[in-house]
Structure 1
Amino acid sequence: MTSEPQEYADRSYRSGPAIAGGVLLLGLAAWMGGDALLRGDGRVPLFAVAGLLTVVPLIVAFTVRPVVLAGDNRVLIRNPFRTIHVPWGAVETVRARYSAELLTEGAVYQLWAIPVSLRERGKATRHNQRLAAGEEPRGGLLGTMRGPSAPQDNQPRTAPADASVAELRELAERRREEPEAAGTVTIRWAWELMAPAAFGALLLMILWVTG
């Protein structure tokens, strides 16, 4: 049986800054929670356990977990609390507005792994406008580098999220009519993250009320 990573091995989209931030937050949570468990008095260790049960799954869900995996026949969207399998035949379009979205069968699914940066989009737009106007592209720090030593940047730019969405949209349009790309959308909830987070939050509430 073909494994999930092999089935979706063609293209993978993740947010590097989100993963880096998540790793840092997990390290901070482990340090603070571990210190409270080892050195805390009274009910402090219980609060630490409840806090870790609540916080760690949420950090993983919103930073490390999101990914979009695109294969020849379908796309997998792993968001914080859901995993959506969408065959290309069911995809209407993929777009990037204030967030990256995939539209299918009357539903809209956000692509958490492809965050849209309005700042990057604005930089690309201004750069392309300067090229269209025949102006010299800015180079170096704050656009201060000019002349022969400046980096060559005479090509149009596209914001990273817009480039990823365009690639997914092109793949959907190309594979939509293939027989292998037919099928229905399936969704699986991430109970392995939701259950411990809910239990930890409930335990925190009980400890707070009975404290």
Structure 2
Amino acid sequence: MTTPHDQSPAPQPPVPAAKDRIFRSPMAIAGGVVLLALVGWLGIDALIKGDGRTPWLALAGLILVVPLVIAFTLRPAVFVNDDRLRVRNPFRVITLPWGQVATLRSGYSNEVVAKSGAKFQLWAVPVSLRARKKATRQQARAAGTDTRTGRGPGMPGRGGPGFGGLGGSTVPDRPTRAETDQIMDDLRALQEGREQAETAQGEVTVRWAYEIAAPAVAGAVLLAILLATG
């Protein structure tokens, strides 16, 4: 007969890991789908209807081009959770625990800088200068400033607050930002809040995407042989 003291507590289920937030470029994905459809249509047509060496050249071209299109359009993604940042670029996958991230910076491209000094571009979060200019214009309009004349709130002819608060404009609490710039702001905030966490420590790892590189190299070699022996 067992007593209550002999009963061990039931094992608790493991705490599920936090799901990744995934960032990708919709424009790149759309462009990749269009390119794959075009390349597939032309390549398959040449394979079926081509004469002589044409089908072999088409096959080599498909083996070379399709992986490259996938690499630069459909493949790039950024995976984020509370412990680490994982960057899937065309030919590499870089995993950086937040404790190893020195900074995330934006210029003409968005990139993450490790504490070792290594820099990795975020292909899935491209910079859009056009979106930045649009966001700047929206901020100026929200603040009641004409970007062409420089007139601000309260100035004649612009409907500013003026006297008695007439014609006042509402300024949003959060500034308007380009989408990719806002993503970078969110990543910086997460890095600053998690860089000292025990679960966010570790080493930076880099894995080459051989599943992309190997077919592309094979296609290039086959195409080179066909052209050299033609």
TM over 0.5: yes
**Distance in 1 between residues matched to 2:59 and 2:141, nearest whole Å:** 55
Give deviations 1:123-165, integer Å, cap 9, x for gaps: 11122123334459xxxxxxxxxxxxxxxx9643100110000
Answer whether contact 1:8 1:75 (CA < 8 A) is retained.
Answer: no
Q: Which of 167, 173, 196 matches 2:192? A: 173
Query: 155-164 or 66-75: which moved more?
Result: 155-164
Determine helix, strand or coil for the equivalent of 2:180: helix
The aligned runs of 1:79-118 (5 Å cut-off) are 79-104=89-114, 105-118=116-129
Q: Radius of gyration: which is bigger?
A: 2
| Preserved CA contact (<8 Å) 2:143 2:171 | no
Q: Aligned runs of 1:54-93 on 2, under 5 Å?
A: 54-93=64-103
Identity %: 52
**Alignment correspondent of 2:29:** 19
TM-score where L is the length of structure 1: 0.85
Task: Give how far 1:7 is off.
Answer: 5.7
Give the match's secondary structure for 1:162: helix
2:87 partner SS:
strand
Give the TM-score of the pair, scaled to structure 2. Answer: 0.79
CA distance in 2, matches of 1:49, 1:24: 19
- For the structure 1 residues 91 and 10, does the alpha-carbon distance in structure 2 shift closer, same or farther, using more than 3 Å as the test? same
Structure 2 residue runs without a partner (length 5+): 1-15, 148-169
- List runs of 5+ in structure 1 lacking aligned partners: 1-5, 137-152
CA RMSD of aligned residues (A): 1.9
Separation in 1, partners of 2:87, 2:52: 44
- Secondary structure of the residue that 2:19 maps to in structure 1? coil
Structure 2 equivalent of residue 150 of structure 1: none
**Quick one: higher RCO (CA 8 Å, sep 6+), 1 or 2?**
1
Matched, 1:9 2:14: no
Which structure dedicates a bigger proportion of its chain to helix?
1
